[in-house]
Every structure is written in structure tokens, then in C-alpha cells.
Amino acid sequence: MSMQIGVGFLGAGTVGSALIRRLIYESDAIAAKTGLDLVVRGIAVRDLAKDRGIVIPPGLLTDRPRDVVDDPKVQIVIEVMGGLDPAGDLVMRALNSGKAVVTANKELMASRGRDLLAAAETAGVSLLFEAAVGGGIPIIRPLSESLAGERITSVLGIVNGTTNYILTRMVEEGIAYEEVLAEAQELGYAEADPTADVGGGDAASKAAILASLAFGTWVDGSQVTREGIEDLSTEDFVFARRLGYIPKLLAIAEYSEDSIAVRVHPTLVPLDHPLASVRGATNAIYVSGPSIGELLFTGPGAGGEPTATALLGDVIMSARERLAGTQVKSRIRFGTGRLRDVADFSTKWLIRTTVADRPGVLAQIAAVFGRHEVSIKSVWQDGRGDEASLLLVTHESPEGDLQLAVSELAGLEVVSYVDSVMRVYNDES
Ligand code: NAP
Ligand code: HSE
């Protein structure tokens, strides 16, 4: 006989409706596999009249989210409304009243996660967030449980499906940015406000969550240095390819010399690196440590269906805990570590400039880099008569030194433009 557990939804958009469909219309298969009868008791939305692509039994929809949280028949609250308000207060209310919460909300976890996890621990209930990072890829539980004993040194990869989809289509098919962004929204990959995706904010929240779990030091989303993909041009893609690179939006969290560096930015990845062939909304995350070497987690990073699978796994885990009568104690502890200043981040760089095509120009430019201790690895020039495109790849250099060199470069009489400055993936480190 199946055991009944009541679940309530805060939100029924792309992700919520995918999970609601499964809970309502695939309940037999879930019960057969888990022994659980997960019963949807209420669903809070903004617009009661909206077509959600599924038939929702009468009486379940409400536009009063508190009614779902306060419903005594709801034991697990599934938060898939997104954003900080009112999601944060509703989750806190649910936890304080002894309900388990499952959420896909990375923005919320990256800003209020520490307090919410503490509230969950006090109440003896679970707050699970596998769906907040990597869509359908299991990465939160591996980091917080399976790898809890490893001294993780870095977590690095592609954690935003929308931007990877956009970059793939732009690079491979030359489709315009606005058109591909609209496709990503249509496919349900993008956030309600897609500036969070294209501006790097979504990846920054995910990087903060991954870093906090990997290094055991709380990293707030606002502390993550980020740059989005909005300023990349088709010309950047063309020149990058000529030098053997493809642009990817990478999240990079590193622990070294007793400090943590967490950042998100477009990075030129060598075409023969495995990350270069991660296409569309797929995500790929490398986790490295002295004993494990390197693990790669990859799979669908966005979209309603894969994310619903991650949420459902958490709901099943919470339901099992409930039925076992487990008083859940937080499995996660956060210490305080030092976050490295952005000026100290080191990487290789590609600088693309338009310069005067005449003798002595290269020497002037090389002198600028030399003065700022930035070592040039390779130079590529395409002369066009009066002007030339000049591409320089540097050895690994700190961001602070590079920025000083670039601003001096921009002031040289022989330099017409600094067209772009991009970080290059460092395979040697
Ligand atoms: P969405 O399509 O915009 O859905 C949001 C839902 O929440 C909608 O049903 C909306 O109601 C409801 N809602 C929002 N504010 C509300 C309020 N104040 N009161 C009542 N209902 C409210 O978003 P989504 O793509 O499903 O994403 C949901 C969450 O999952 C976000 O935290 C997102 O970051 C995360 N996530 C998304 C994906 C993905 O691929 N989409 C993947 C992983 C994680 P209406 O429908 O009536 O407007
Ligand atoms: N907007 C997010 C993305 C959804 O594109 O990756 C998955 O978290």
C-alpha cells in the first residue's frame, strides 16, 4: 500500500507545470517505484485564468500563496515561483511551521540560503535544492554528501543553459542574438527576466551555491564577480575561431592559498577541450580535488522536464524522511573563508585591437605590456593597408595588471580601438 504525502506548489510555470503533470498523471508509476502516493493539495499562481498546457483538477489553483503554505494537508512545499519576494518569506514561513521545502530557486538560495538552511535545521525539516543548479544534473547532493570528505580545489564549467544555447546557435549558425534569445525563452530555458541569464547573474547565483558547498565557506551570490555575454560580437567569434577558440560562459570557483575566487565570465575555450563541444542548453561541471582528480557532471541544464526530475528526486527524499519520522539536521556547515579580490584573479587573455599598419607599432604595444608585467604569448596580425587587426594572447596575468596595460594601450596614438578583451581558458593550471 502506498503512503500518502501532501505537496503544495508555489508557482506553476515552465518548471512547476512539468512536475504537476507528472505528479497528477504519472502518480501510479511514481508509487510503483517509490511506494509513495504524492498528492497535490494546492497550487499558487498569479493568473488563475492562464493556460498551463495541462488539465489541473478543479479547486487546486489559488492566487493566495499563503493558503498553500498554511494548508495543514500540505507537508512538502515546492517553491518554483522564482525571485526573492515573496518566495523567500513564503519558504521561511513553511520551514518555521515544520514543512519540508524543495526549491529550484538559485537566486533565493544564493542570497538567503544560509538563513533558510539554519531555519530548516531548527525546525528539523529538510530544505532541498538539487534543481537550483544544473537543471536535471545531480550536482548538489554529490557535492554536499558524496564528496563531503574531499578537499575540493575547484568547480568549473557551464552552468547556464540559456547562454550556452545562444552562443552555440550564434557561433554555429550565425543567427542574431535577439532571435536566439527569443528561442531560448520559447523553449523555457530563460529566467522570467532573461537579463539574469545573459548578464551572468543566474550563473553567478549557481557559482555561489557550488562554491559554498564545495569549500564549506558561505559565498553570497552578490560576492561573485560576473560578466555576461551581451557585449560579445560576431567578429569576436570569428577571430576566436581563427586562433582555435570558442567562447563559453564559464563559472569558475577555485580554492588556493587559503582564499576563494568565484567568478563568471565569457572565456575562450580551446576547440579541442571537452567544454568546447558542450552545445545548446547542456551544462557541464568539472569538480576537482586531490583524491578524486577530476569528475565531470554533464546533462540538460535547463528546461521544465529535466528540472522537474531534479525536483521530484528531492520531493521523494523529503517524503521518505517524513514517513520515517526523521528529525532532519542540516548536513551542511559553512565556515568563513577569505574571498580573493578580483584584481588578483589570474588568467590568460586575448586582446583584439585595431592599430595603424606601419613600422614600429608592435614595438610600442609590446612595451606597454612589458611595463605592466604582462607577458605576451603569441601575436597575430591581419594588415589591411592603413589599419590592421592585431590579436595578442598573453601568458597568465592578474586582472589588475592586464586592465592597467589595456587602458594605457587604448591611449596610444597608433591604437584606433581596443575592440575586445577576453579571458582565455588556462589549460596549464
Ligand atoms: P516561470 O515559468 O516564470 O514560472 C513562475 C511561476 O510562479 C508562474 O506560475 C507564476 O504564476 C508563479 N508566480 C510568480 N510570482 C508569483 C506570486 N507572487 N504569487 C503567485 N504565483 C507567482 O518560471 P520557471 O522557469 O518555471 O522557473 C521557476 C523557478 O525555477 C525559478 O526560480 C527558476 O530560476 C528555477 N529554474 C528554472 C529552470 C528552467 O529551465 N526554466 C531550471 C532550473 C531552475 P503565473 O503563471 O500565473 O504567472
Ligand atoms: N535560466 C536557467 C538557465 C535555467 O538557462 O540555465 C536553469 O537554471
Please write the tens of the pLDDT for every residue from 10-38: 999 999 999 999 999 999 999 999 999 99
Q: What CA–CA distance (Å, rounded) separates 84 from 91?
A: 10
Hey, CA dihedral for 33, 39, 45, 47, is it positive or negative?
Answer: positive
Beta strand ranges found along 207-244 (DSSP E): 225-226
> Ligand 2, residues 133, 164, 189: which to mutate, most atoms within 8 A of Cβ?
189
What pLDDT, on the 0 to 100 scale, is given for residue 335? Answer: 84
What pLDDT, on the 0 to 100 scale, is given for residue 397? Answer: 96
Residue 347 Ramachandran class (φ > 0 left, ψ -120 to 50 alpha, else beta)? beta
> Ligand 2, residues 14, 139, 160, 164: which to mutate, most atoms within 8 A of Cβ?
160
Q: Among 99, 206, 248, 348, which one carries the catalytic annotation?
A: 206
Q: What is the distance in A from the centroid of ligand 1 to the CA of 44?
A: 11
Q: What angle do CA 85, 43, 59 make, to 5 degrees?
A: 140
Peptide bond into 138 cis (omega under 30): no
Q: What is the distance in A from the centroid of ligand 1 to the CA of 14?
A: 7
What pLDDT, on the 0 to 100 scale, is given for residue 384? Answer: 82
pLDDT over 80 at 395, yes or no: yes
333-358 as b/e: b if 16+ CB within 10 A: ebeebebbeeeebbbbbbbbbebbbe
Q: At what angle do helices 27-34 and 14-25 cross, to 10 degrees?
A: 70
Compute φ and ψ for 49, nearest 5 degrees: -90, -5
What pLDDT, on the 0 to 100 scale, is given for residue 3? Answer: 83
Mean of the per-residue pLDDT values of the chain: 95
Q: What is the distance in A from the centroid of ligand 2 to the CA of 287?
A: 20
What pLDDT, on the 0 to 100 scale, is given for residue 328? Answer: 75
Strand ordering across the sheet containing 127-128: 61-62, 36-44, 3-10, 76-79, 100-103, 127-128
Q: Catalytic annotation on 106? A: no
pLDDT over 70 at 257, yes or no: yes
What pLDDT, on the 0 to 100 scale, is given for residue 429? Answer: 45
- Looking at the CA of 107, which ligand is closest? 1
